[in-house]
Amino acid sequence: MKCKEVFERGIQFHHYCNTAYPLRPNSLAQYELHDDQEIYELVKRNIEAQDELCLYVHVPFCQSRCKFCEYVVMNNPSETDPDVYVEHLLKEIELYREIIKDKPIVGYDLGGGTPAYLSVENLRRITESIRKFNLQDGMYLSVETTPVIAANDPEKIKAIRELGYNRISMGFQTVSPKLLESLGREGSEFIYEKAVQNIRKAGFDRLNIDLMYGFLNQSDEDFANTIRYTIAMDPEFITLYRNRYKGTLLEAESQGVTLYKVNRQYDIAYRLLKQAGYVANNGKNTFSRIPGDLGTSSYLTKRVVEATSYVGFGLGAQSFVGNYLAYNLGCVDHKLEKYLKATEEGKLPINDIADMPVSEVRAKAISVMFYFGFISMKAYQKRFHEDFREIYASQIRFLTDSGLMEFVDDDTFMLTDYGAAHLYGIIPLFYSERSIIEMFNMSDRWLNDKKGEEIYLEKYDRKAFDAPSVAVDLLVFNHDRTKILLIKRADHPFVNRMALPGGFYKPTDDNLEFAATRELMEETSVFVKVTEKNLVKVTSTKNRDPRGWVISVAYALELDESKVKPVANSDALFATWVDVAALQKEKMAFDHYDVIQYVLRTKASSPEMAQ
């Protein structure tokens, strides 16, 4: 399958084509083992083959399950569940200690859920058990808390620091009271500020605050205010998490959120964080204000950059070691019983484990590497003992020719600004052949632009615009008017339809011609000054736009096709020259097909020529 086809489908299926691989829980069923002895031998063989490992401990408890949560968190745990859980978690750790022995451990995270939900005594027992492994010097031991716990239990936060954890992560997610309520999450500015004070008093000098974006009910203004507020808290690191929808209570809303909105909100955050001195390379979601510090834990840094194998302990925890990918018991039902029984019987508490071919191992490792926005040639060589440039020659050629990625040095293949906005089309290029077919099959069944538009319009605030609104549309022809420059829309309404470049007139625009010039540049990267001479049509029909009454002012130009290479920006997925004779009314947005035919029929306009 051609790279362009895979890339375009990934863009359309962006809620699923992210750094989480594979696409579905049962995607790798054909490679799974089910015999206990075979499973043990596979685990032992792959762990012993590693030069070093990372460890992760999962705590499946929270005060309540947030609607955006995709992780293994127990619903309504009893008062005794945490103590019982830790007892059996320690048994699992001991089972793996017999295999791991003194192998160097280069990263360790205590995550969840909410680790700080546990008692200090249980946190101490877990930490002491992990410290019996061969932990390497200089590691950042990372732990997670919630603002409510950090604000209300300062002694616990102090105890966690004394246990040796030197990086702490806390999720604000948003400071919008309305959005917090809709997500089922507790928070307020008082709680946030008290939490940060207690974390600082405990001695933490590496604080990360998590923020989320890309919610259907989240406005750009709300998100920008959250960014500004978080910057004022002065954490060392700020991490942006896009709401991934897959496997969450909000999954039904996913098609109402376009990639355009996701990228727009990321750009808002990137600009504000950069102005405040927080740095991240293209595509990376953790921003650091400490020079030379990536801002992530040793565990995450090693597993992302170098694809270092990791073993996950706890309910539903994931392990990716050598050629196997495994999920512990509880990954499906989020219940303790089977996990407790397995560890009590001295069995590795694995729910499913896949002995993957190298094509799947590569796909998993590279998908995770894009969490940082680049691929290291040396790290890939070390992990797979092969040359990345040879294995992925066609993908590299497509990505570099399209301006999506570039080699910034001999080792680093990195996303460009343009590539960061199209990451979800890039990642599938490195999927296995099986997974690419799966992506097309899933998207054929699930994608429904009409349904997405209905979800979007249900939450659309018409009062955000004056009535009527005014928009500009650009008809850009080649010299003999056999071709026209079109975009593919990235946002609702008419998402994924071909359309004329254009958009709303803004209060900051000097006039409509300025707006037309700006929109042409923003959506296609073509700069030509539009004047009154190019005006060809005004359309005032009220039903042309499902959002409300929008008056359209159309302008026509002729440009030298050979000198114009359009590149999509702003709210356009693609910009390209299209044969006029090939246009189909049902595949175009708004009334744009009729406008084009009107201009061609009347030979309207006295167009300026491109310079």
Kindly state whether residues 422 and 324 are assigned to the same domain: no
The CATH number given to whatever domain includes residue 439 is: 1.10.10.920
Domain contains 608:
no
Kindly state whether residues 351 and 392 are assigned to the same domain: no
Kindly state whether residues 427 and 466 are assigned to the same domain: no
Which residue has 């061609």 as its token pair? 600
Mean of per-residue pLDDT scores for the chain: 92
pLDDT digits (tens, 9 = 90+) for 245-277: 667 677 777 788 888 898 999 999 999 999 999
Kindly state whether residues 508 and 446 are assigned to the same domain: no
The predicted pLDDT at position 5 comes to 97
Asked if 460 and 268 touch (Cβ cutoff 8 Å), the reply is no
| Strand 207-213, strand 167-173: pairing | parallel
The predicted pLDDT at position 611 comes to 37
Asked if 474 and 530 touch (Cβ cutoff 8 Å), the reply is yes
Q: Hey, what are 516's tokens?
A: 């037309």
Kindly state whether residues 255 and 229 are assigned to the same domain: yes
Kindly state whether residues 162 and 218 are assigned to the same domain: yes
Q: How far is CA 395 from CA 71, 400, 401, 404, 426, in A?
A: 32, 9, 10, 11, 9
Which residue has 């830790």 as its token pair? 86
Kindly state whether residues 152 and 289 are assigned to the same domain: yes
Asked if 558 and 475 touch (Cβ cutoff 8 Å), the reply is no
Domain contains 524:
yes
d(CA 608, CA 231) in angstroms, rounded, equals: 47
Q: Which has more pLDDT, 354 or 178? A: 354
Asked if 365 and 383 touch (Cβ cutoff 8 Å), the reply is yes
The CATH number given to whatever domain includes residue 212 is: 3.30.750.200
Domain contains 611:
no
How many structural domains compose the chain? 4
Kindly state whether residues 489 and 571 are assigned to the same domain: yes
d(CA 299, CA 136) in angstroms, rounded, equals: 12
Domain contains 597:
yes
The predicted pLDDT at position 434 comes to 97
Kindly state whether residues 289 and 229 are assigned to the same domain: yes
Residue 513: domain span: 461-602
pLDDT digits (tens, 9 = 90+) for 36-65: 999 999 999 999 999 999 999 999 998 776
Which residue type occupies 206? Answer: R
Asked if 173 and 229 touch (Cβ cutoff 8 Å), the reply is no
| Strand 167-173, strand 142-145: pairing | parallel
Q: What is the pTM of this model?
A: 0.81
d(CA 424, CA 7) in angstroms, rounded, equals: 8
The CATH number given to whatever domain includes residue 479 is: 3.90.79.10
Number of Cα atoms under 13 Å in the Cβ half of residue 165: 32
Q: Which of 309, 333, 355 is the last residue of a domain?
A: 355
Which residue has 């006039």 as its token pair? 511
Element (H, E) at 310: strand 310-313
Which residue has 């499946």 as its token pair? 60
Domain contains 419:
yes
Residue 16, phi then psi, degrees to nearest 5: -115, -25
Domain contains 90:
yes
Kindly state whether residues 59 and 76 are assigned to the same domain: yes
Q: Is the pLDDT of residue 115 over 70?
A: yes
User: How far does Cα 522 stand from its chain's mean position?
Assistant: 24
Q: Going along 478-526, which residue ranges are E strands?
A: 483-489, 498-499, 502-504
Q: Which has more pLDDT, 217 or 34? A: 34
Which residue has 């359009």 as its token pair? 566
Residue 358, phi then psi, degrees to nearest 5: -60, -30
Kindly state whether residues 479 and 597 are assigned to the same domain: yes
Q: Is the pLDDT of residue 474 over 80?
A: yes
Domain contains 609:
no
Query: Once rounded to an integer, what is the mean pLDDT over residues 347-360?
Result: 97
d(CA 26, CA 491) in angstroms, rounded, equals: 31
